[in-house]
Amino acid sequence: MNLPDEKGYFGNYGGRFVPETLISALYELEEGYGESKKDPGFIRELEYYLENYSGRPTPLYFASRLTEKLGGAGIYLKREDLNHTGAHKINNTLGQILVAKKMGKKRIIAETGAGQHGVATATVAARFGLQCAIYMGEEDIKRQELNVFRMKLLGAEVIPVATGSRTLKDATNQALRDWVSNVETTHYIIGSVVGPHPYPLMVRDFQAVIGRETKKQVLEIENDLPDYLVACVGGGSNAIGFFHPFANDNKSKMIGVEAAGKGLSSSCHAATLNGGSPGVLHGSFSYLLQDAAGQITEAHSISAGLDYPGVGPEHAYFKETGRVTYQAVTDEEALKAFLLLAECEGIIPALESAHALAYLEQLIPSTTKNETVVVCLSGRGDKDVAMVSEILKGAV
């Protein structure tokens, strides 16, 4: 069955839980995206920019020293960190800005946590000459000065959000309020597979290039499908894009790794699927972190990109069907994996991606040497270097 259904549901999850004012914009977007994806001109244009602007296809790299060190299955890394702007985020922003242009929108807005999606949005807005405003929580602005400056360099206006917890969730609320107020002229580029239908579908489709390339590359090298796919899950866009083309290949087991922060039993984590419960946030029904009265609670993770109290509805569906297993690793485990990859492969991963790598410590002992694992290395870690240095007090 092709999901989501026409109401935007993946099984029980998804939908369009938004104020009436936004509904017409969601239908307009559904139609605009639906036409784009059938238009050979649109597909060619997107492919052109993915190839020549972002640098796709990204390599599938055999991490031989890491493989040797962990002593089990062969480990490949899908190098999304080598994309322009340093992460998979641009796959989605390129796709959405082309849709926005086709729909005649003049202005782009987006939410950002650490600033990666904000930078990827500001980048494409600059390239296509559209006005751009990025909502960012005041707390995050303080923590991510460099990305704020990057967005400004790229011509975007960065709007501080002082409400609620002053982080990504509140930036998303504010972006939704802006969209409600400027819906005729403005397209809202949501950064993950969250939000009301058609966003989880559209963002998944734009990110599925990760999985399509991986499949082709791994078949060329190994002449077989991988045994395991591992990706980190915050909102879940790199994971969905990576997993989706393999969804019907039962040979490949898929594992999504959430941020356990200071531990699942502490209240300081961002593991929505492992430690949350179903509910409605930001336009869709999925898993979220909430208290007994249905108020959304704050997430915590060392990785700002995973620090979100919701998750894409398709992940909730995959959890329910069991097609994907969701695990969680702590801040400490992620930090260890961050250091390990830098040391033995010369690649500094984003702290988000380090969560996927950290899970290998648990997975690899149960594998054999003739099996293969592919990890989605969703972004590079330059953005995290200052913070890690602070945590380690400069000593590695």
Binding status of residue 290 toward another protein by CB under 8 A:
yes
Judged by CB under 8 A, which of 85, 96, 173, 238 binds another protein? Answer: 173
Binding status of residue 180 toward another protein by CB under 8 A:
yes
Shortest distance, position 162 Cβ to another protein, whole Å: 10
Closest CA to 234 of 174, 330, 299: 299
Burial of 300 (0-12, 13-18, 19+ CB in 10 A): buried
Helices (H), the chain: 20-38, 40-52, 64-70, 89-102, 116-128, 138-143, 145-153, 168-181, 199-207, 209-222, 237-243, 272-275, 313-321, 331-345, 351-363, 385-391
Closest CB to another protein among residues 291, 390: 291
Closest CB to another protein among residues 7, 393: 7
Residues pairing with 159 in the sheet: 135
**Active-site residue (options: 36, 54, 284, 378):** 378
Judged by CB under 8 A, which of 65, 69, 127, 177 binds another protein? Answer: 177
Binding status of residue 158 toward another protein by CB under 8 A:
no
Binding status of residue 183 toward another protein by CB under 8 A:
yes
Question: Under a CB-based contact definition with an 8 Å cutoff, are residues 320 and 40 in contact?
Answer: no
**220 counts as catalytic:** no
Binding status of residue 12 toward another protein by CB under 8 A:
no
Cα 396 from chain centre: 28
Segment interacting with another protein (CB under 8 A) among 73-81, 84-92, 167-175, 380-388: 167-175
Total residues binding another protein (CB under 8 A)? 36
Judged by CB under 8 A, which of 296, 316, 328, 363 binds another protein? Answer: 296
- Chain positions 320 to 349 lying near another protein, rule: CB under 8 A, are none
Question: Under a CB-based contact definition with an 8 Å cutoff, are residues 290 and 24 in contact?
Answer: no
**Active-site residue (options: 78, 80, 89, 286):** 89
Judged by CB under 8 A, which of 18, 109, 125, 302 binds another protein? Answer: 18
Parallel, antiparallel, or unpaired for β 107-112 and 186-188? parallel
Shortest distance, position 109 Cβ to another protein, whole Å: 14
Within 10 Å of residue 294's Cβ, how many Cβ atoms? Answer: 10
Residues pairing with 376 in the sheet: 78
Segment interacting with another protein (CB under 8 A) among 10-18, 62-70, 222-230, 342-350: 10-18
Binding status of residue 204 toward another protein by CB under 8 A:
no
In the stretch 63-102, what mask flags binding to another protein with x, by CB under 8 A?
----------------------------------------
Judged by CB under 8 A, which of 181, 321, 362, 370 binds another protein? Answer: 181
Shortest distance, position 291 Cβ to another protein, whole Å: 8
Shortest distance, position 8 Cβ to another protein, whole Å: 8
**378 counts as catalytic:** yes
Location of structure tokens 């097609």: 323
**80 counts as catalytic:** no
313 φ, ψ (degrees, to nearest 5) = -60, -25
**Active-site residue (options: 80, 111, 213, 314):** 111
Closest CA to 307 of 284, 326, 289: 289
Contacts of 343 (CB under 8 A, 6+ apart): none
Binding status of residue 169 toward another protein by CB under 8 A:
yes
Q: What is the CA radius of gyration of the chain?
A: 19
88 φ, ψ (degrees, to nearest 5) = -70, -15
Q: How far apart are CA 70 and CA 66, in angstroms?
A: 6
Binding status of residue 103 toward another protein by CB under 8 A:
no
Binding status of residue 23 toward another protein by CB under 8 A:
yes
Q: How far apart are CA 377 and CA 226, in angstroms?
A: 16
Does 349 sit behind a cis peptide bond, omega within 30 degrees of 0 on the bond before it? Answer: no
Helices (H), 236-376: 237-243, 272-275, 313-321, 331-345, 351-363
Closest CB to another protein among residues 131, 165: 165
Closest CB to another protein among residues 76, 308: 308
Which residues lie near another protein (CB under 8 A)?
7, 15-25, 163-164, 169-170, 173, 176-177, 180-184, 278-283, 290, 292-296
Positions marked active-site: 89, 111, 378
